[in-house]
Chain A
Amino acid sequence: MAQRVLITGQIGTGKTVLSQLFGLQITRDAQEKGVNLQYVHINCRECKGSLFLILQQTISRFHPHFPKRGYSAEEILHVLVQVLDEQNLYLILTLDELDALIRNEGSAPLYNLTRIQEDRPNAPRRLSLICVLREIEYLDSLDPSARSTLQHNIIHLSEYSKAQLLDILGDRVNLAFRVGAVSGDVLGLIAGLASSEGGDARYGIELLWRAGKYADVSQLVEVSAECVRMAASSVYPTVSKDVISSLGLHEKLFLLGVARRFKQTGAVQMSIGDAEEAYAVVCEEYGERKLGHTQVWNYVKDLSAVGVIESRLSGVGQRGKTTMISLSRVPASDLERELIKVLSVGGN
Chain B
Amino acid sequence: MAIEEVLSSKGRVKILRILTEIGELNISEIARRAGLNYATTNRHLGVLEEHGLVRHKRFGRIRIFRFNEANPKAELIGRLMELWKQTDKSKQSVR
Contacts and interface: CB of A to CB of B under 8 A. Distances in A.
Interface in B6-24: 22-24
B42 interface: no
B62 A65 contact: no
A65 B24 contact: yes
Nearest to B23: A65
A71 B24 contact: no
A65 B28 CA distance: 12
Contacts of A70: 28, 61-62
How many B residues touch the partner, as a band?
10 to 19
B61 A66 contact: no
Contacts of A287: none
A78 B60 contact: yes
B29 interface: yes
A70 B60 CA distance: 11
A67 B60 contact: no
Contacts of A66: 26, 62, 64
A263 interface: no
Contact of B59 (A64, A65, A82): A82
Interface centre among B23, B29, B60 (most CB of A within 10 A): B60
A71 B62 contact: yes
Contact of B60 (A63, A64, A65, A79): A79
B60 A71 contact: yes
Interface of A: 63-67, 70-71, 75, 78-79, 82-83
24 contacts: A63-B24, A63-B64, A65-B22, A65-B23, A65-B24, A65-B25, A65-B26, A66-B26, A66-B64, A67-B26, A67-B28, A70-B28, A70-B61, A70-B62, A71-B60, A71-B61, A71-B62, A75-B60, A78-B60, A79-B59, A79-B62, A82-B59, A82-B60, A83-B59
